[in-house]
Structure 1
Amino acid sequence: MAHIVGMSLYCLLGAFQFSPALRGRRVWHRRTGRVLIPAGMIGALASIALAVFFSGPAEAFALAIVRIVFAVPMLVFLVLATRAIVHHRFDAHAAWMTRAYAIAVTGGTQALVLIVWSIVGGETSIVSETWLVAVGFVINSLVAEGIIRRRVGGRARRVAEPLGQPTSPSAL
């Protein structure tokens, strides 16, 4: 229950935290964040507990390990995001939250990867399912890193450019 409630709240409300319009409303963003970070931590901790106290078939144990391998970093990312916001390091906070959110919403990516695999390769075994779940986590993590780098790169260019100058050669 803790995993379902924590992750559902974190994933649904968390999506709105990335909206520039809502993020600009600092009161809303802060209040929601004070609910979301604990919800995400509860969801990640529950995910770890589910995997640690795994009681399924022995061949599915590797899948439980894959989930631990990504739930632990999600928890760490939430702690680092909290630490960053306490120290008013807003860019670092945004980056850590983006990473944590990418892991949290991997269920949808995993479903898509499993569907594509089933269409192309047929039925999945527990071994292929384990690899495909890991692929979903990796895809989301890579997309998150791309978003973070694009965000940081855009800020660096804006800061480095003199006022009134075009932002790209094509603008000339």
Structure 2
Amino acid sequence: MRDVAMAAKVNTAMLYYYFKDKENLYRAVLSDSFSALIAIWDNEIFKSDSPAREKIRKYVEEYIRFHQANEDLRRIMAMEFAVSGGGVTWVCENFFADNHARLVHIIHEGIKNGEIRRVDPSLAVASLIGIIVHNFIMQPIAEHLHGKKVDLSSRKFGAFVTDFFFDGLGVTGK
């Protein structure tokens, strides 16, 4: 806490007054970082009768933007997941669970409306998120193998992810 206080140019007592301990400070930093993830759901499309595909496309684009803007958070979470620390459970309960539930609901609605074939919504959500997260993790390797920068822009990569998620690699009509 002393190093944090020095970097923030405040005294240690003030940090302890607001955060009590390192765990509370860490959680406050994560909460601030994950606020952008929660804000994705404020978009009007999620309150509308738009098709499931459009809602998922919007979520994917915004989730990609979230990853682009939070590279340090991605590294922190990768370390948390690697050691299966207590922070993983807290983050899952406080940030990922609601996202997961909302995406599952969209997929359920899409199944009900005939837009999406019958699938396990939880598995579909895990796969959708996994496609995005894995590509960000693998970006340096992919760039080395391809010899050029990989375009993970929300527009281009988002369209690829959404199309891949809904259509797979099959040729339409065959």
Give the TM-score normalised by the residue count of structure 2.
0.29
More helix by share: 1
Which structure has the higher relative contact order (CA within 8 Å, separation 6+)?
2
